[in-house]
Amino acid sequence: MEYWNEEQTLLAKTVSDFATKELGPMAEVLDDTESFNLNAFKAMAPLGLLGVLAAEEYGGAALGCTEATLVMEKLSEQCASTTLSYLAHTILCVNNITENASDEQKRKYLPDLIAGKTIGGMGMTEPGAGSDMLGMQTKAVRKGTKFVLNGTKTYITNGPIGDVFVVYARTGNEKKEISTFIIEKDFPGFKTGKKLKKMGMRASPTGELVFDNCEVPEQNLVGKLNDSVSHMMRNLNIERITISGISLGLASATLKYAKQYVQERRQFDKPLSEFQATQQKIAEMATDLEAGRALTYSAAKAYDRGDRDMSLGAKAKLFTAQMATRAGLDGIQLLGGYGYTREYPVERYMRDAKLMEIGAGTNEIMRLIIARQELEL
Ligand SMILES: Cc1cc2nc3c(=O)[nH]c(=O)nc-3n(C[C@H](O)[C@H](O)[C@H](O)COP(=O)(O)OP(=O)(O)OC[C@H]3O[C@@H](n4cnc5c(N)ncnc54)[C@H](O)[C@@H]3O)c2cc1C
C-alpha cells in the first residue's frame, strides 16, 4: 500500500540509498564495538536530514512528521542504533528547540546542530524518575542572572557524545513546576557520567548527565519558568510517532532477510519456504508490518494536519514496538541455529527492537494513555 506522495517517495529513495551505502556496511562492527558512526551522522547534514522539521532560515528542511517518520524507517532498515541517535538529535533536541525556544536561542543553537557541527540530546529521565517523569528531582535555582542546576539524568541517548542538551529541571515546589534549559557541555558544573552497556542499540551511546552546581545563563531558560510540562508532552507525542518508524524499519529488515533465507535454506530436500509453518510466520510478519505502517503513517498524517491527540502516537508506538520484537523473535526462529548466532543480523534486529518497547515511554505507559482516552479518564 502507498502511504507517501511522489516527493515523499523520492525522499525515501534518497535516504534508503544513503543508508545502504553509509550505515548498512558498518552496522555489525559498530554493534560489536559499541561505537557511534560519526562520519555517517555528519554526512546526513548535506541531505538536510539533521534539521528535517526545522525552519529553512536556520538551515532546516521544514518538512513534516510524515517525512521525519519515513526517514527513521529507511535509516533503521540499515542501522537502527545510528537512527536512535539521529532521533535524539533531530526530534528530542533540534525539534524541541524549534518548537519551544526563542528566536535568539534558535539562531544560537540550530545552525550548528543542523549542519552536524554539534550533536544534540535531551535529558528527562532520572535514576528515580522514568515513567513517572513528573517525579524528577533535578533542581534549578535562580542566582542573579544564572540558574544553578543540581541532579543527575540517566539513559540519555547521545549523553557521552553530545554538545548541546535540552534538559528539564524542577523550578518550583509543585509537581508540574518544571522548566526547560539548553545546556552546553562546557558549562561549569556539567559533566557526563558513565556510558551504559546495553543489550541492543549498541552503536547509539547512552549515558548519564551530571549537574553539580552547574551554572546556566538565564538566557538559556526555554519559554516561561515553571511552564515546561507542555514542552515535554508536545515533544513526546512527535517522538512516539517518529520512533515508530524505527520499529517499522527493523521489522522490514527482518522480514526481508527472513524471506531470502527461507528460500535459500533447504531441509528435507526442499527450501524452508515450502513448509507451511514457515509460510505462516512470513504471512504474519508481512501482515503485522502492513498494519504497523498503516497505523504509523495515519498518526503522522494526523499530526501534520494539526491533530495533537496523544493517543494516536501511543497506539502507533505500542503496536509497532511489539510488532518489531515479534518479528525479530520469529526471524531468529526461521533461521534456526544460524539466527541465534551473531554471524547473522537478525538477532541484532531483535535486540534493537526490544528497546522500542521501553524508550519514549514503555508499552504499559502507552496502554495507560490509550485507555485514558478511550475511557475518558
Ligand atoms: C537505550 C535507551 C535510550 C533512552 N534515551 C533517553 C533519552 O534520550 N532521554 C531521556 O530522557 N530518557 C531516555 N531513556 C529513558 C526511557 O524513556 C525510560 O527508560 C523509560 O521511560 C522507562 O523508565 P524507567 O526505565 O525508569 O522504568 P520504570 O518507570 O521504572 O518502569 C519499570 C517497569 O514498570 C512499569 N511501570 C511503571 N509505571 C507503571 C504504571 N503506572 N503502570 C504500569 N506499569 C508501570 C514500566 O512499564 C516498566 O515495565 C532511554 C532509555 C533507554 C533504555
Which listed residue (239, 290, 357, 376) is catalytic? 239
Q: DSSP of 3-16, one letter per residue?
A: -S-HHHHHHHHHHH
Q: Which helix (H) or strand (E) covers residue 193, if one does?
A: strand 190-195
Distance CA 290, CA 293 (A): 5
- The pLDDT assigned to 376 comes to 94
- Rg of the chain over all Cα atoms, to the nearest angstrom: 21
Is residue 241 lining ligand 1, measured as CB closer than 6 Å? Answer: no
| Dist. CA 136 → ligand 1 center (Å) | 13
CATH architecture for residues 121-222: Beta Barrel (2.40)
- The pLDDT assigned to 322 comes to 98
Distance CA 191, CA 259 (A): 46
- Ligand 1 atom with the smallest distance to the CA of 157 is 8
Bridge partner list, 156: 207
Quick one: three-class SS letters along 137-161? CCEEEEECCEEEEEEEEEEEECCCC
Strands 190-195 and 178-184: what pairing? unpaired
- The pLDDT assigned to 231 comes to 86
Is residue 124 lining ligand 1, measured as CB closer than 6 Å? Answer: yes
Strands 120-123 and 164-170: what pairing? parallel
Q: DSSP of 236-275, one letter per residue?
A: HHHHHHHHHHHHHHHHHHHHHHHHHHHHH-EETTEEGGGS
Do 90 and 82 contact (CB within 8 A), yes or no?
A: no
Is residue 165 lining ligand 1, measured as CB closer than 6 Å? Answer: no
- Ligand 1 atom with the smallest distance to the CA of 124 is 11
Is residue 96 lining ligand 1, measured as CB closer than 6 Å? Answer: no
239 an active-site residue? yes
Is residue 366 lining ligand 1, measured as CB closer than 6 Å? Answer: no
Distance of CA 98 to the CA centre of its chain: 17
| Dist. CA 344 → ligand 1 center (Å) | 29
Residue 49 grid cell: 536530514
| CATH code matching the domain that covers 6-119, chosen among 1.10.150.20, 1.10.540.10, 3.40.50.300, 3.20.20.70 | 1.10.540.10
Is residue 155 lining ligand 1, measured as CB closer than 6 Å? Answer: yes
CATH architecture for residues 230-375: Up-down Bundle (1.20)
Is residue 123 lining ligand 1, measured as CB closer than 6 Å? Answer: yes
- The pLDDT assigned to 1 comes to 72
Distance CA 74, CA 15 (A): 6
| Dist. CA 220 → ligand 1 center (Å) | 27
| Domain ranges across the chain | 6-119, 121-222, 230-375
In tens digits, the chain (377 residues) has pLDDT values of 789 999 999 999 999 999 999 999 999 999 999 999 999 999 999 999 999 999 999 999 999 999 999 999 999 999 999 999 999 999 999 999 999 999 999 999 999 999 999 999 999 999 999 999 999 999 999 999 999 999 999 999 999 999 999 999 999 999 999 999 999 999 999 999 989 999 999 999 999 999 999 999 999 999 999 999 998 999 999 999 999 999 999 999 999 999 999 999 999 999 999 999 999 999 999 999 999 999 999 999 999 999 999 999 999 999 999 999 999 999 999 999 999 999 999 999 999 999 999 999 999 999 999 999 999 99
Q: Indicate the pTM of the whole model.
A: 0.98
Say how many C-beta atoms besides its own lie within 10 A of residue 132's C-beta.
11
Q: Which helix (H) or strand (E) covers residue 290, if one does?
A: helix 276-304
Sole residue written with cell 504474519: 284
Give just the sign of the alpha carbon dihedral 344, 346, 352, 355: negative
| Dist. CA 161 → ligand 1 center (Å) | 21
Is residue 355 lining ligand 1, measured as CB closer than 6 Å? Answer: yes
Q: Which helix (H) or strand (E) covers residue 164, if one does?
A: strand 164-170
Is residue 91 lining ligand 1, measured as CB closer than 6 Å? Answer: no
| Dist. CA 57 → ligand 1 center (Å) | 35
CA trace torsion 107, 126, 231, 307 (10° rounding): 120
Angle (nearest 5°) at CA 317 between 290 and 286: 20
Q: DSSP of 205-246, one letter per residue?
A: -EEEEEEEEEEEEGGGEESSTT--HHHHHHHHHHHHHHHHHH
Angle (nearest 5°) at CA 38 between 182 and 208: 45
- The pLDDT assigned to 2 comes to 85
| Dist. CA 117 → ligand 1 center (Å) | 30
- Ligand 1 atom with the smallest distance to the CA of 88 is 8
Nearest CA owner, ligand 1 atom 37: 131
Q: Which of 362, 367, 369 to mutate for ligand 1's pocket (most ligand atoms within 8 Å of CB)?
A: 362
The packing angle between helices 363-375 and 310-335, to 10°, is: 140
Q: Which of 208, 174, 205, 215 is nearest to 194 (CA)?
A: 208
